[in-house]
Structure 1
Amino acid sequence: MTTGIQVRDLRKDFPVRDRGLFGPRTAKTAVDGLDLDIPAGRITGLLGLNGAGKTTTIKILATLLRPTSGTVRVDGLDTVADARAVRRRINLIAGGERMVYTRMTGRENLWYFAQLYDVPKRQVRTRIDDLLALVGLTNAADTPVERYSRGMTQRLAIARGLVNDPAYLLLDEPTLGLDAPIARDLRRVVARLAAEGTGVLLTSHYLAEVEELCSHVHVIADGRHLAAGSPAQLKTATGSHATVRVTVPNPSPAIAEVAARFGATRTPADDGAEVLTLRHPDDIAGPLAAAVVQAGGSITALDITEASLEDAILTLTDRTARTEAVPA
């Protein structure tokens, strides 16, 4: 039965020493009461600033770390009590971490991991060949990984992450260090896997990648859940609207009236020109430009900057920080 990955009240504390090697130990909380749902057939984003708890969360989901408290279930299987069964259903691709053996060849790495995942023997050779072709390493299949470039090593790590045909794929900065064409190909593979029913959890600092792939995003800070929704919903909820800039070479009182009517700010520019700037949730560029022309003005530049997911995340984390800074 497919029920997805369900994270409930997840907490992870790490012991730290306050004063050097022999100081007293205290607990540092990396994940604090987190609830998440990663359904099959969808790419779900997990976003936050550095230190938010994203990698710790993914490692718990991958059974690499035990939670301090709370539960994680994969299709009803507990990641602690049923860890062996869970590992057959998931896999992890993490950029920037060594996930393959450098003294083995690419083909030997995939064969080794296929044995660990109990891939049926009759499928191993074909699957290895298919994965090497998928990541563009067919010609380097029998070369030791220690002679691979960083990008080649990461491509092999992607193939390793797919060797067991996982039901759920955990991606922690998967395109880190990849050339643009390979990163694009990986995005296509991930989108295809999700369309075929694989559940995917993605963390990435490349937010354009998140917007391209993710239909649903969770934002966390200091290990706590802040918000969830589609990228568009998060941008709208935080007031992260598109910005329109209209450069008017001949400002006048009539143009000033247009700016006031639309709520646009007026900024002096070079050669006596003026820039009208407006942030708005709707497509306001056309009406603003038309009003300027009707008021007798001309336009030398019209720029539209789309709202960014980064702005939404920064707004959410800043709001949280300001709220926590207010004395009770």
Structure 2
Amino acid sequence: MIVIDQVSKQFKDKKQLVKAVDYISLNIKEGNVVGLIGENGAGKTTLLRMLCTLIAPDEGTITIDGDNIYTHKEKVRHRLGVLFGSETGLYNRLTARENLEYFGSLYGMSAHDIKNQIEMLAKRFGMRKYLDRRVEGFSKGMKQKVAIARTLIHDPNIVLFDEPTTGLDITSATIFREFIYQFKGEGKTIIFSTHIMDEIAQLCDDIIMMHKGQIVYEGKLEELYETENSRDLNYLFTSKIVRGDLYV
């Protein structure tokens, strides 16, 4: 269970303070696939960066299974896999295998466990043909597969993705969605932001709608459809912004 309690974060922009996340509270259940939507600047990426301990909130707390993620950073980080959009985190001069070995070692994995995990991920993601090639020559889709494998090398139970299909071709985006189905079947908790409403509709159990750092809806996708008597997510999101809805 992820518990976000009255979390806020602000930044300076041209000598002005901008509140990126404005005292939000959420409970995210284990094993759920959660979609995070909102316009650019809504606070989605800031929220995800706080969840993965890259930045700390100004106020409020975040706990995972009862552990405060800022006082137990190392313990929490071993439970998390993180991929931020086009930031693959890969080293171009290394092969795909060498990249995975390096990141596995950062998590304190043994050489034996790293080798077994790489073999499993290479088979699962169809990477065997280019596992020992340098990453610098890879297509975007190939890099994305290695980046997802890098995210999963230590077998995390919570995975955070920030707009993971941005810039991918149809085939690569479809492969990513298939990965989400697989992760869900393994009981992993997935939180991902996207501007593609079809991804939310196809993949998610729950949805979080953000607007100007605040929550306008948080809950089951099917309950949202039923309450609003519509399955058009673009319309539903726009409607909640226009109405000024705030989730309580």
User: Please, what TM-score do these two structures have when normalized by structure 1?
Assistant: 0.71
Gap runs ≥5 in structure 2: none
Task: Point out which structure has higher relative CO (alpha carbons under 8 A, 6+ apart).
Answer: 2
Q: Which of 8, 11, 29 does residue 8 from structure 2 map onto?
A: 11
The residue type paired with residue 314 of structure 1 is T
Quick one: percent identity of the two aligned structures? 33
Is 1:51 matched up with 2:57? no
CA distances 1:196-245 after superposition (whole Å, capped 9, x unpaired): 22111121112111111111111111110111233333244345x3xxxx
The residue type paired with residue 316 of structure 1 is K
The residue type paired with residue 153 of structure 2 is V
Q: What CA distance in whole angstroms lies between the structure 2 residues aligned with 1:75 and 1:47?
A: 25
Aligned match of 2:240 = 316
Is 1:153 matched up with 2:77? no
**SS of 1:318 mapped into structure 2:** helix
The residue type paired with residue 148 of structure 1 is F
The residue type paired with residue 216 of structure 1 is D
Q: What CA distance in whole angstroms lies between the structure 1 residues aligned with 2:225 and 2:38?
A: 14
Q: What CA distance in whole angstroms lies between the structure 1 residues aligned with 2:173 and 2:53?
A: 26
Aligned match of 2:27 = 37
Q: What CA distance in whole angstroms lies between the structure 2 residues aligned with 1:107 and 1:177?
A: 24
In the TM superposition, what is the alpha-carbon distance from 1:192 to its structure 2 partner? Answer: 2.4
Aligned match of 2:206 = 216
Q: What CA distance in whole angstroms lies between the structure 1 residues aligned with 2:28 and 2:110?
A: 27
Larger radius of gyration: 1
1:230-249 paired onto structure 2 within 5 Å: 230-239=220-229, 241=230
Aligned match of 2:172 = 182
Is 1:75 matched up with 2:65? yes
**SS of 1:100 mapped into structure 2:** coil
In the TM superposition, what is the alpha-carbon distance from 1:54 to its structure 2 partner? Answer: 0.5
In the TM superposition, what is the alpha-carbon distance from 1:320 to its structure 2 partner? Answer: 1.9
The residue type paired with residue 78 of structure 1 is N
Q: What CA distance in whole angstroms lies between the structure 1 residues aligned with 2:133 and 2:29?
A: 38
User: Please, what TM-score do these two structures have when normalized by structure 2?
Assistant: 0.92
Moved more, 138-147 or 80-89: 138-147
The residue type paired with residue 9 of structure 2 is K
In the TM superposition, what is the alpha-carbon distance from 1:52 to its structure 2 partner? Answer: 0.7
Q: Is the 8 A contact 1:52 1:221 kept in 2?
A: yes
